[in-house]
């Protein structure tokens, strides 16, 4: 029995970890190169990957993780680098597909 599949998955996990670390460092460098009065601690790395290093709030968590009225299913994380799934939007889309949604 070979363990090639396990090695590949382990390699992919390491690659994802390295990419995440690199994006986090890039976001921090971007903020630290910005004059202190102009730092927002949120934005995008390479105009693609969102980041947010502000203290998380309940309102922001609700907006990004449970917002059935949001435009997209995937959006910026509440804290950190990358994307999060908006479970509220997923539930709303599932209800709509099942014919359970209310007419708007």
Give yes or no for residue 29 having a pLDDT over 70: yes
pLDDT of 10 reads: 85
Q: What is the domain partition of the chain in residue ranges?
A: 4-97
What phi, psi does 96 have (nearest 5°)?
Answer: -60, -45
Is residue 91 within 8 Å of 68, Cβ to Cβ?
yes
Percent helix, strand, coil in the chain, to 5, is 50, 15, 35
Predicted model pTM: 0.80
pLDDT of 99 reads: 84
- pLDDT above 90 covers a percentage of the chain that reads 83
**Dihedral, CA of residue 35, residue 36, residue 37 and residue 39, to nearest 10:** 90
Exposed, middle or buried by CB within 10 Å (0-12, 13-18, 19+), for 14?
Answer: exposed
């Amino acid at each position: 029995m070979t363990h090639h599949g396990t090695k590949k998955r382990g390699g992919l996990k390491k690659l994802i970890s390295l990419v995440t670390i690199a994006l986090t460092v890039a976001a921090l460098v971007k903020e630290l190169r910005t004059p202190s009065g102009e730092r927002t601690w949120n934005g995008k790395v390479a105009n693609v990957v969102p980041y947010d290093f502000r203290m998380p709030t309940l309102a922001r968590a609700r907006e990004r993780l449970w917002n059935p009225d949001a435009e997209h299913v995937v959006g910026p994380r509440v804290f950190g680098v990358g994307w999060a799934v908006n479970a509220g939007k997923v539930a709303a889309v599932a209800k709509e597909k099942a014919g359970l949604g209310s007419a708007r």
